Chains A and B, each alone.
Chain A
């Protein structure tokens, strides 16, 4: 079996394509919460109503390239794969019955069915591309809306199950890689400013509860009383400022006082990551963070940023399991994870 081909199948499709400002911004995501008129919201609905929602949305999109994946029709490991590819949320798996996701062939748009709302339209793209992601989600929303009536009022906008999403139903977010700000001890200070302008920031978790990877997500909290363009504009302009700060921190670290220390740190990480024989996903993520910085700054050669970005997905349990092709107990997982990482880093790419 061609391993490279298998890896390509398991990596989320949206990861392909150019990543603007990709040195700092990992990905951009838009989520629109929508409900159909005349049906109770999922947590109040019985199986029959939930099934009607699935069928209605499926029919509304039958002339498009979207295909429906029902959670009922797949095993738990396939469901977890969808979570790790960022195509569905972990919450959707809590009660798989009458739940599903409609995905386009490029996997850039996914419509979760019967999570907290009837529909959660998500568009995700690499790099800083919030405007493009919004346009794509908006087009998908138009396709559904041409066929179905939404729960909507003039005053409150799109009616959502949780009042924190009402109005636009829009959550726009960017995922940032901020290793240098962390190293110079400025990350907390820079990001704490964001809560004062109505944006929320959180660390992205590894496998346990510890944060790892120096990955942060910025998103809007307010969904009512602002237009979609205003919300997106605010996040983009704030992201650009954080980007500038991270880039200055990287330059500072490359100065003569700290350069040697930085080189030592990224090469040590690279040494372990490319030679270890047993590795947990938590340790892998911590090393991954330093290796990615080293490659971005040109301190580590022979490996591309794309290659390292792909590793972020390959170290995750369900994707790894699919790659190996059998159920693995955790200690064997650590063995195969180390092997997959070694092979992936050694594959020369032009």
Chain B
């Protein structure tokens, strides 16, 4: 999304104003937000915190995601509840915080689009804990071995390829 004032920079400041039940939204870049006086600029420019929190930003992101235009009515979304900790989706929208690990499962279908907007991705590719993520770790190792196998075949290094294939099989056994 581009800044609606200068149309040159990405909009990173999202402002929702409600006056007499009438809601207006504006999406600006940092520079225009400061110039139009809606963000505290001060002498050094980009000083937003501590008044500008991630939670507020998140709430406004969700507003645009699940707001009145969304097919899903706020009522429907609001009554969804995490059965483990009891947090409702309405709570989450208000505070921007999840209540427990199981909330990720309970609100999964709402979180996917949010992840995409915040992070630009929806899947983790980083570190995997050895205990909780035992199988994930093995899967990642298998992926890596498969990649090496393809390379070995391309180089016509068949002895190495055979060894890699056995290694992959052994790891696949562990997953069963």
**B is bound to A:** yes
Binding site for B on A (CB under 8 A): 35, 37-41, 43-44, 116, 138, 141-142, 145-146, 149-164, 166-168, 170, 182, 187-188, 191-192, 195-196, 198, 201-203, 205, 209-211, 221-228
Contact A225 B121, beta carbon cutoff 8 Å: yes
- Tally of A-B residue pairs with Cβ under 8 A? 164
Number of residues from B at the complex interface, CB < 8 A? 50
Contact A35 B30, beta carbon cutoff 8 Å: no
Contact B126 A222, beta carbon cutoff 8 Å: no
Contacts known (A145-B130, A203-B44); A44 close to B111, Cβ less than 8 A: no
Contact A168 B85, beta carbon cutoff 8 Å: no
Q: Which residue of B lies closest to A165 (CB)?
A: B54
Instruction: Output the least CB separation between A38 and chain B (Å).
Output: 8
**Does B100 sit within 8 A of A, measured CB to CB?**
yes
Q: Which residues of B contact A41 (CB under 8 A)?
A: 85, 97-100
Contact A146 B130, beta carbon cutoff 8 Å: yes
In the complex, identify which listed stretch (B45-53, B66-74, B152-160) lies at the interface while the others stay far away. B45-53
Instruction: Output the least CB separation between B9 and chain A (Å).
Output: 8
**Does B78 sit within 8 A of A, measured CB to CB?**
no
Contacts known (A44-B99, A138-B127); A211 close to B42, Cβ less than 8 A: yes
In the complex, what distance in Å separates the CA atom of A40 from the CA atom of B49?
Answer: 28
Find A40's partner among B9, B50, B100, B114 (CB 8 Å cutoff). Answer: B100
Find B31's partner among A44, A145, A151, A192 (CB 8 Å cutoff). Answer: A192
**Does B87 sit within 8 A of A, measured CB to CB?**
yes
Contact A163 B127, beta carbon cutoff 8 Å: no
Find B136's partner among A154, A187, A202 (CB 8 Å cutoff). Answer: A154
Instruction: Output the least CB separation between A260 and chain B (Å).
Output: 25
Contact A191 B101, beta carbon cutoff 8 Å: no
Instruction: Output the least CB separation between A234 and chain B (Å).
Output: 13
Per-residue A-contact encoding for B119-138, CB less than 8 Å = 1, 0 else: 11111111111111101100
Q: Which residues of A contact B58 (CB under 8 A)?
A: 162-164
In the complex, what distance in Å separates the CA atom of A163 from the CA atom of B115?
Answer: 7
Contact A211 B124, beta carbon cutoff 8 Å: no
In the complex, what distance in Å separates the CA atom of A142 from the CA atom of B31?
Answer: 42
Binding site for A on B (CB under 8 A): 9-10, 12, 30-31, 42-50, 54-55, 58, 84-85, 87, 95-101, 104, 111, 114-115, 118-133, 135-136, 139
Instruction: Output the least CB separation between A199 and chain B (Å).
Output: 12
Q: Which residues of A contact B122 (CB under 8 A)?
A: 155, 224-225
Contact A192 B30, beta carbon cutoff 8 Å: yes
The 9 closest A-B pairs by CB, nearest first: A225-B121, A157-B124, A151-B101, A224-B119, A44-B99, A168-B126, A154-B136, A152-B132, A40-B100
Q: Which residues of A contact B132 (CB under 8 A)?
A: 37, 145, 149-152
Instruction: Output the least CB separation between A61 and chain B (Å).
Output: 16
Q: 26 pairs across A/B with beta carbons < 8 Å?
A: A40-B85, A41-B99, A43-B95, A44-B85, A142-B130, A146-B130, A154-B128, A154-B136, A156-B111, A156-B115, A157-B126, A158-B127, A160-B98, A163-B114, A167-B126, A168-B126, A192-B45, A192-B46, A195-B10, A202-B48, A210-B43, A211-B43, A211-B47, A225-B124, A226-B121, A228-B126
Contact B131 A149, beta carbon cutoff 8 Å: yes
In the complex, what distance in Å separates the CA atom of A149 from the CA atom of B130?
Answer: 9
Find B30's partner among A158, A195, A209, A228 (CB 8 Å cutoff). Answer: A195
Instruction: Output the least CB separation between A203 and chain B (Å).
Output: 5
Q: Which residues of A contact B54 (CB under 8 A)?
A: 162, 164
Instruction: Output the least CB separation between A246 and chain B (Å).
Output: 15
Q: Which residue of B lies closest to A116 (CB)?
A: B97
Contact B42 A152, beta carbon cutoff 8 Å: no
Find A196's partner among B10, B48, B130 (CB 8 Å cutoff). Answer: B10
In the complex, what distance in Å separates the CA atom of A284 from the CA atom of B139?
Answer: 56
Besides A151-B100, A168-B127, A202-B47, 4 other A-B contacts (C-beta < 8 A): A43-B95, A156-B104, A195-B10, A226-B125
Contact A154 B133, beta carbon cutoff 8 Å: yes
In the complex, what distance in Å separates the CA atom of A166 from the CA atom of B54?
Answer: 13
Q: Which residue of B lies closest to A170 (CB)?
A: B126
Contact A225 B47, beta carbon cutoff 8 Å: no
Q: Which residues of A contact B121 (CB under 8 A)?
A: 167, 222, 224-226
Instruction: Output the least CB separation between A145 and chain B (Å).
Output: 5
Q: Which residues of B contact A198 (CB under 8 A)?
A: 120
In the complex, what distance in Å separates the CA atom of A237 from the CA atom of B136?
Answer: 30
Find B119's partner among A155, A187, A223 (CB 8 Å cutoff). Answer: A223
Q: Which residues of B contact A154 (CB under 8 A)?
A: 124, 128, 133, 135-136, 139
Q: Which residue of B lies closest to A188 (CB)?
A: B45
Q: Which residues of A contact B133 (CB under 8 A)?
A: 152, 154
Q: Which residues of B contact A223 (CB under 8 A)?
A: 119
In the complex, what distance in Å separates the CA atom of A141 from the CA atom of B122?
Answer: 24
In the complex, what distance in Å separates the CA atom of A149 from the CA atom of B120?
Answer: 28
